[in-house]
Amino acid sequence: MKRSDYLRDRRINGQRPRPQWVYALFVIPVLCVVGLGVYFIPSVRWRVDTFRTELFYRLNPPDEAVFIPQGQQDQLEFVVQSTLNALTPEATATGIAPTATLPGPTSTPGPTALPLPQSVILPGVKYEHQHGRWNYCGPANLSMSLTFWGWNGDRDVVGEYVKPSSDDKNVMPYEMADFVNTQVPGMKAFVRHGGEIEMLKAMIAGGYPVLVEKGYYEHDFTGKFAWLGHYQFVNGYNDVSGAFTLQDTYVDDGQDHQTSYQDFIDGWRSFNYLFMVVYPEAEEAEVLSLLGNWADEKWAAQNALRMAQEEGQTLTGINQFFAWFNQGTSHVNLQQYFDAAVAYDFAFSLYAALEDDDSQRPYRIMWYQTGPYWAYYYSGRYGDTINLATTTLTETISEPVLEESLYWRGLAREAIGEMDNAISDYRDSVRINPNFTPGWAQLERLGVGL
Domains of the chain, by residue range, sit at 19-54, 57-104+337-446, 119-295
Cα 123 → chain centroid: 29
Q: Which residues contact 443 (CB under 8 A, 6 or more apart)?
A: 423, 426, 427, 430, 449, 450
DSSP H or E stretch at residue 190: strand 187-192
Q: Which CATH number is associated with domain 57-104+337-446?
A: 1.25.40.10
Specify the CATH architecture of the domain 119-295: Alpha-Beta Complex (3.90)
Numbers of helices and strands, H then E, in the chain: 19, 7
The pLDDT of residue 94: 30
Run means of pLDDT, 10 residues per run, the chain, 450 residues: 54 57 60 55 53 60 86 51 44 35 48 80 97 91 98 96 88 97 98 98 98 88 79 98 97 95 97 98 97 97 98 95 98 98 97 74 95 98 98 93 97 98 98 95 95
Measured between alpha carbons, how far is 134 from 432 in angstroms, rounded to an integer? 14
| pLDDT confidence of residue 62 | 82
CA distances, 223 to each of 129, 217, 237, 366 (Å) = 19, 12, 32, 21
Q: What is the reported pLDDT for 78?
A: 44
The answer to whether the beta carbons of residues 290 and 271 sit under 8 Å apart is: no
pLDDT score at 110: 44
Please state, in angstroms and as integers, the Cα–Cα distance from residue 184 to each residue in 153, 163, 172, 267, 278, following that order.
Answer: 10, 16, 18, 30, 11
Do 57-104+337-446 and 119-295 show the same overall fold? no
